[in-house]
Amino acid sequence: MENVKFKQKLNKYNIRINIINGIASIIAMNLLNPYFVKFAERIGANDYQIAYISSLPALMAALTLIPSAMFMGRFKDKKLITGSIMFTHKIFYLLLATVPFFSKAAQPWMFVLLVGFMNFPGSVSMIGFQDSIGDVFNERARGTAMSTRNKYSTIFGMMTAFISGQLLTRIPGTNDETIALYQIFFVIAFLVAQVEVFSYFKFRGIKTVKKQPDNKYIDSLKEVFKSLPKQKKFLIFTGCSLLFHFGWQMGWPLFGIYTVKYLNANEVWLSTITIAGSVSSFIAYPIWAKLADKKGNSIMLSIATFGMAITPILYAASRSLIALVLFNVIIGISIAGTILILFNILLEVTPTKNRTIYIAVYTTLTNISAAISPIIGVAIKDGFSIYTALIIVGCLRMIGSISFFIRNKVVNKHG
């Protein structure tokens, strides 16, 4: 009885820490991510440089994730190494603030390269964080813990997006002043991100592993690849996910280019679009969590990804920023379900033994897709039109969504 009470108390404590961690993370992110394309445009980036903002980080992750997962495995204290790499990732927020100090010609590429290299420690720390969450929360508590985190994160993310968008539009009088305010935001994001790092260290229940010889981790990687053909659930899920991710990622630069260059959105409109998606996500997270518990993760993922499949069509149909704001309500609902349930199923189908390496393999494959697909999306735009490119993105996402539906049928049939 005492053991049960202790576990309940520990679970509540970790949920609180997870909420704080999520809030700090989203505040820092929403001072940066919604404005990457606009900032790039303000310093003179072209469409392909904007696409590289999506593809280069993914390429960095694809090249480094598996070696990094093995590197992290050399350390006995999983929490210490993950938290340290997490801190290294946040230092790049400060480096982004230095971009305007370079020559005008160098600024776009400096920004692109920093965003790309920033994802090296960022993706590695995310692998460690996901593995840690697998330790901290059991399968039954995990969905509730993450949906609660996402709910509170969404509230603070909306507030950050609203305030930052208003400040970026109302305070500066010139483009140079706007860029200077961005620099201040980058510094603030770094400071807020320290709360994210500190709160991670406050998690309880992250396992300490027995340190093994270096060759042990090469053996573990060999073991993972040798056992992959036997991991049918993992392979099927990964295949379906890759189909969907290719279409998902292809749209990333197109959405930003369409919003900023075709509809001429400023920072207020960008923050409004972010808020519209965040409001619907906030409402949708607990609903998705309940429906996933009731109906099952697999069938709900098919529904969530179907919603994401129609979003490029909605973008193509938008001829005003007001319409785009309204459509982002639907987008927010779909993304909430997709992110939440993809993560849940990944942990379900990943074997406990060598879990970090399996997650690294999965993430590497999705990042290889993300390194290629944004460039292809921009190339299709240049060869035809942005409307044609968006429709193709929608079709590819639909194929991925259907594959998740078929996967659900196969899993239910064979167990």
* pLDDT score for 1: 58
- How many other C-beta atoms lie within 10 A of the C-beta of residue 38? 19
**If pLDDT is split at 50, 70 and 90, which confidence band does 129 have?**
confident
Angle (CA) 29 96 185, round 5°:
50
pLDDT above 80: residue 7: no
Indicate if the pLDDT at residue 142 is higher than 80. no
- Residue 27 in this model has a pLDDT that exceeds 90: yes
User: Quick one: DSSP state of residue 99?
Assistant: G
The Cα 328–Cα 276 span in angstroms is: 6
Q: What is the pLDDT of residues 340-363, one digit of tens each?
A: 899 888 888 888 787 777 887 888
Sign of the CA dihedral running 170, 95, 365, 361: negative
State yes or no: pLDDT of 108 exceeds 60.
Answer: yes
pLDDT, mean of residues 127-135: 79
Instruction: Residue 142: count other Cβ atoms within 10 Å of its Cβ.
Output: 17
Q: Where are the domains of the chain?
A: 2-414
Q: What is the pLDDT of residues 115-125, one digit of tens each?
A: 999 988 887 88
CATH number for the domain running over 2-414: 1.20.1250.20
Mean local confidence (pLDDT), 191-210: 86
- Count of residues making up the chain: 415
> Rounded to whole angstroms, how far apart are CA atoms 194 and 199?
8
Average pLDDT, the chain: 87
Mean pLDDT value of segment 133-151 = 78
Q: Which residue has the higher pLDDT, 269 or 408?
A: 269
What secondary structure does DSSP assign to 140-191, as a single string?
HHHHHHHHHHHHHHHHHHHHHHHHHHHHHHHS-SSHHHHHHHHHHHHHHHHH
- pTM beyond 0.85: no
pLDDT > 70: percent of the chain: 93
Q: Which helix (H) or strand (E) holds 92?
A: helix 78-96
* pLDDT > 80? residue 308: yes
- Cα dihedral 351, 281, 65, 373 sign: positive
Quickly list DSSP for 28-82.
Answer: HHHTTGGGHHHHHHHTT--HHHHHHHHHHHHHHHHHHHHHHHHHHTT-S-HHHHH
